[in-house]
Every structure is written in structure tokens, then in C-alpha cells.
Amino acid sequence: MKSDIGAITCARYAFAPNYYHYCGPDTNGSFGAYVSSSEADPRLEGYLAKFETLYPYLKVIAEANSITDVFDPRVVDAYWVGNSLLNRVTPQKTYTALAFDQQLEKRLSKKELQWLYPKIDQKAKLHHSFHVFNIFTRTGHNMVAHTVDTMDQCRIGWGKITNSNVKTRKSNKITVMSQRLVYINGRLQFIETRREVINPIENLRLKAGDLVSFHWGYVCEKISQQQMKNLEQLTLHHLALANQTI
């Protein structure tokens, strides 16, 4: 079923911050089992609906595109990776999503809101990278300011595998040619680097040359060239918006 595919994909992206207890419900370890096995059931969507930042964004994207299933794969891809569905979310819907659905009127200071709202007119999208780079306070369980390192870990990264699967007793470690977020001369920017990430998905067979996305050091999925292009463009766009108010 479409919703099962979308829910599993969404779980793969949401797994790592949930594993570290940054956001989402306490699933007593079962959330990781969904990711590992790639098998969904009704409880999985219930868990995902309890992510207080993620789920409202998915709802807005789905409604703006007249899609009834919040976990439709296209909706999930739009938020985490990026696709044309984001273009149908109007500036007014974006404002509502930020001010009320995310309760930023209560969570951020007036000064922070004055920095944030003008970016809506500069084609800010309801994409994960916008939230990470432009809402400087994490809005999961820990209401603390982002650092450069946490922004780098929290954004969705992308890269090309440079080695075959290297299996250990505890994990499946993969080296990717990717990028790292740094702060130089008053600006956030990327530098090219190799990174080691972990593949938690049992049936995701990867090889050198494959493109993958990752979140907090864990592989989310294998992506296409177009998906990588979308993710890179949106990430760089929202990084540029962030640099306006740093």
C-alpha cells in the first residue's frame, strides 16, 4: 500500500532523532524495528503522528495538494527531500504552519520572529532544511539553541558511497563523499568531506557509487540523481536565507 511505503520512508528519516530522544514518542524500541524490517502496521502511523514538528508539516503539504493521505510517499518526499508539492503551499499557508501549527508565536522571541517571517516572501519552503537552518531553536523535546554541529547533524545530508558495505557486529558502516557544515567569516557554508554513516535498514543493499540521504549519522534511503539535486538546491536556498540573519 502507498501509505505503508510512505510511512516506512518517513520512519527512516525520523528514526535517528527519535533514537536519541530528541523528538517523537517513546516507542520502547519498536520504532527501530520498523526501520530495520521495512514492514509497517497501523501503529507506525500512530507513532509518526506524535512527532510534534514533523506531522503538522506533512498535513499542510498534503492539504495544499489535495492529498488525503498524510503519509503519501510524495508528501513524505516533499518534506524530507523536496519536490514540486512544496510549490503549492502558499505563503499564507506557510505563515499559518509556522505561527500556529508549530506554535512559534509562543516558542520564539519577537526579534526571532521578525527575522523569520520575511523569509516567507523569499520563497521559503516547508522543507526540513528551512526548519533546521532558520528556526535556531530546536523544537522537539529539548528547547535549546542549535549549534553548527547540531544543524549539520539535523539537516538531511546526501552523498555518494565510496566503499562497499562494511559489516561489523553492531552496525553496517558506510563511507560517503559528502559535505560538512562550517561557520567561516560570519557565514554558514559547506565544505566537501568524507563521512562515515550507518545503514540501519536490513534489506537496503548498497554498493559503491550509490547515492544516499542520511540524518544524524544514519542512512535514510537510496536516492536518485533528481532527488539529490532537489535536496541540494533546497538546502542551499534555505542556508542562504539563514545567512541573512546570523
- pLDDT on residue 145: 63
Query: In the prediction, which pLDDT does 87 show?
Result: 98
Give me the pLDDT at residue 143, please: 46
78 vs 71, 84, 126, 131, 234, CA distance in Å?
Answer: 11, 7, 9, 14, 11
Q: Percentage helix, strand, coil, to 5, in the chain?
A: 50, 20, 35
Q: DSSP character for 209?
A: T
Domain ranges (residues) in the chain:
2-134, 148-243
Whole-number pLDDT of residue 163 = 81
> Counting beta carbons within 10 angstroms of the beta carbon of residue 158, is it exposed (0 to 12), middle (13 to 18) or buried (19 or more)?
buried
Per-residue pLDDT of the chain (246 residues; tens, 9 = 90+): 555 999 999 999 999 999 998 989 988 888 889 998 888 888 999 999 999 999 999 999 999 999 999 999 999 999 999 999 999 999 999 999 999 999 999 888 899 999 999 999 999 999 999 999 998 654 444 445 678 999 999 999 999 999 855 554 455 789 999 999 999 999 999 999 999 999 999 889 899 999 999 999 999 999 999 999 999 999 999 999 999 998
d(CA 237, CA 42): 36
The candidate with the shortest Cα–Cα distance to 154, out of 80, 45, 65, is 80
pTM of the model: 0.93
Report the CATH architecture of 148-243. Answer: Roll (2.30)
Q: What is the CA radius of gyration of the chain?
A: 17
Q: Provide the terminal-to-terminal Cα distance of the chain, rounded to the nearest Å.
A: 44
